[in-house]
Amino acid sequence: MNEAAWNEVKAEMANVKTIKEMFAEDPQRAERFTLEAAGWTLDYSKNRITPALMKKLYKLAEASNLREEIEKMFTGAKINETEGRAVLHTALRNCDPDAKVLVDGRDVMPDVRAVLAKMGDFSDSVRKGAWRGFTGKRIKNVVNIGIGGSDLGPVMANIALTPYSKRNMKFFFVSNVDSTHLAETLRSVKAAETLFIIASKTFTTQETMSNAEAAREWLVKELGDKSAVAKHFVAVSTAAKEVAEFGIDTANMFGFWDWVGGRYSLPSAIGLSLMIAIGRSNYAKLLKGYWKMDKHFRTAKFERNIPVNLALLGILYANGYGAETYCCLPYDQYLSRFPAYLQQMDMESNGKGVTKDGKPVTYSTGPIEWGEPGTNGQHSFYQLIHQGTHLIPCDFIGCCRTHNPIGDLHDKLMANLFAQTEALAFGKTAEQCRAEGVPEKLVPFKTFEGNRPTNTLLCDQLTPETLGALVAMYEHKVFVQGVIWNVFSFDQWGVQLGKVLAKGVLKDLVAAKPELKHDSSTNQLILRYRKAVGR
Ligand code: F6P
């Protein structure tokens, strides 16, 4: 992180008053700190900021060469240096028919458009019933088998876009190598009516391949013929050889490329299950929403740029105010898996401890992201956010119009959202408590100090377009933070060690005579397990 620019930010923090005081002093505050883009409004006025502090934060972004780094990403430079790859998820949703994006001198856009068209034709034929199963039956169930980026995006978006989904089909997502996940799914479907999408960038991930093999075995047994696999299994992957080895015809493979990171892959062929659910024209609207936010991020001045401002506020809290986490609170049941989706996007990207030149960082990087939909969270963990000892900046996300109007439920939902941000910012003083007749001995418990920061993100309605824009908004926020923290946001080496060790442990769990060479705790756990399962 640029030390000189950061020191200026820190010095300016001394001039920040409480949120309550700053609102009282500036009648224009809400207007001053509100931004609009791609169908979303961001009100970031309830933060511990002043215009002067924001200026210092923009200066930090400039000093981190953010403008140049954004251009590098959009134009296919190999910014994922430890893997030698470009980072071009933005090309996947580039809706400009004349766009050219070069990687190693080759325009990737014709391939992007060809895969999209192939996905569109396939999803049309499944939805219309033209694609039939081995016994001639219509496909009624789609089971996506994948994990991490090959699961969380499709799961989140399938739930989010339920109002647009084909209601006479069912969609399942199997990710965990816990056999319960697959077993419970298979109990709910009939083989003759089920399509399996094996979604894996590498087609080597242990969990996905184990579940895919088990699903294939089940299907062959149920339908009594090996050749049934061709009508019930398709693949989404970058690895044609591995797909063919698994026994899926590569004609039924939907490709993507090494320049699409797993956690950024929802708008690639990884979104196939979603496209079948919502149809190709709604999927096109999702991409359009992403694209609108991409254009905003690439062109808007930092002062007016939603992802840049979200990122800078996050840095202010993580590095300036010592916040270790931030909370994502969607007041929309359709966004129930959005916090989990953000977890991978943010924590796998910026959970890094060394700078781009391989030196240990001397400041906090990616924060812990967590959250639940409102109002449910209000009745579980909000207590800690209001009165606990941790500072937890929160993003409240709301949609003005519901897809499911029932009485005044939506008004109540939104009233809670707005009231929470008000309570967190302004709190309640001891004097207010006393004026309400609170007995003196209860005053300390009923006092809220306030000054707890929140962002509010509002859209008109949750649609494919606004969902695409929301995802892109957070992707770019995470990108900006990685640039300022000077870490590589697009690799994930930290995930590898556990994967490698699991292979060795597995051998020891199943071997006739294991030679246990682990630490005493791991050895003991392995022996206990072996005894319990009779080995
Ligand atoms: O385990 C982490 C990870 O490498 C993620 O980055 C990725 O999204 C996930 O595994 C799944 O990988 P794949 O799509 O290759 O199966």
Q: Positive or negative CA dihedral for 449, 453, 459, 464? A: negative
* Confidence class for position 499, pLDDT limits 50, 70, 90: confident
Mean pLDDT score of the chain, rounded to an integer?
97
Rounded to two decimals, what is the model's pTM? 0.97
| CA-wise closest residue to 272 among 182, 173, 144 | 144
Q: How confident is the model at residue 85 (pLDDT cuts 50, 70, 90)?
A: very high
List, for residues 127-172, the tens digit of each pLDDT value. 999 999 999 999 999 999 999 999 999 999 999 999 999 999 999 9
CA-nearest residue, atom 16 of ligand 1: 200
pLDDT band for position 498 (cuts 50, 70, 90):
confident
What is the 44 CA–ligand 1 centroid distance (Å)?
34
Please provide residue 377's backbone torsions phi and psi, each rounded to the nearest 5 degrees.
-55, -30
Mean pLDDT across the stretch 484-502? 94
Give tens-digit pLDDT for 167-206. 999 999 999 999 999 999 999 999 999 999 999 999 999 9
Q: How far is the CA of 236 from the centre of ligand 1 (A)?
A: 13
Q: pLDDT over 70 for what percent of the chain?
A: 100
Per cent of the chain over pLDDT 90 is: 99
277's CB contacts (< 8 A; 6+ apart) are 142, 158, 161, 164, 165, 166, 169, 171
Inter-residue contact 318 to 351 (CB < 8 Å): no
Please choose from 82, 87, 150 the residue to mutate so as to test ligand 1's pocket, defined by most ligand atoms within 8 A of CB: 150
Mutate to test the pocket of ligand 1, among 83, 147, 211 (most ligand atoms within 8 A of CB): 147
Q: Distance between CA atoms of 162 and 278, rounded to whole angstroms?
A: 8
Give the pair of three-digit tokens for residue 230.
């061709």
Strand partners, 35: 42
Cα 151 to Cα 143: distance, rounded to the nearest angstrom: 11
Q: What is the pLDDT, as a whole number, of residue 54?
A: 98
Q: How confident is the model at residue 260 (pLDDT cuts 50, 70, 90)?
A: very high
CA of 211 to the centre of ligand 1 (A): 15
Catalytic residues: 348, 379, 499
Contact 201, 150 (CB under 8 A): yes
pLDDT attached to residue 154: 98
Q: Which atom of ligand 1 is nearest to the CA of 150?
A: 14
| Predicted pLDDT of residue 496 | 87
Residue 244 neighbours by CB under 8 Å, 6+ apart: 250
Distance from Cα 148 to the centre of ligand 1, integer Å: 5
C-alpha angle 21/25/30, rounded to 5°?
90
213 CA → ligand 1 middle, Å: 18
pLDDT digits (tens, 9 = 90+) for 428-454: 999 999 999 999 999 999 999 999 999
- Cβ distance 327 to 378 under 8 Å? no
Task: Give me the DSSP letters along 78-145.
Answer: --BGGGTB---HHHHT---TT---EETTEE-HHHHHHHHHHHHHHHHHHHHT-SB-TTSPBP-EEEEE
Enumerate the β-bridge partners of residue 328. 395
| Token pair in block for residue 508 | 């020891």
Average pLDDT over residues 91-96: 98
> Which residues line ligand 1 at a C-beta cut-off of 6 Å?
147-150, 200-202, 205, 208, 262-263, 348, 492, 495
**How confident is the model at residue 321, as a pLDDT?**
98
CB-CB contact of 232 with 194 (8 Å)? yes
Read off the pLDDT band of 484 (50, 70, 90).
very high
Best residue for ligand 1 mutational test, from 80, 156, 177, 201 (most atoms within 8 Å of Cβ): 201
Query: How many angstroms separate the CA atoms of 284 and 276, rounded?
Result: 12
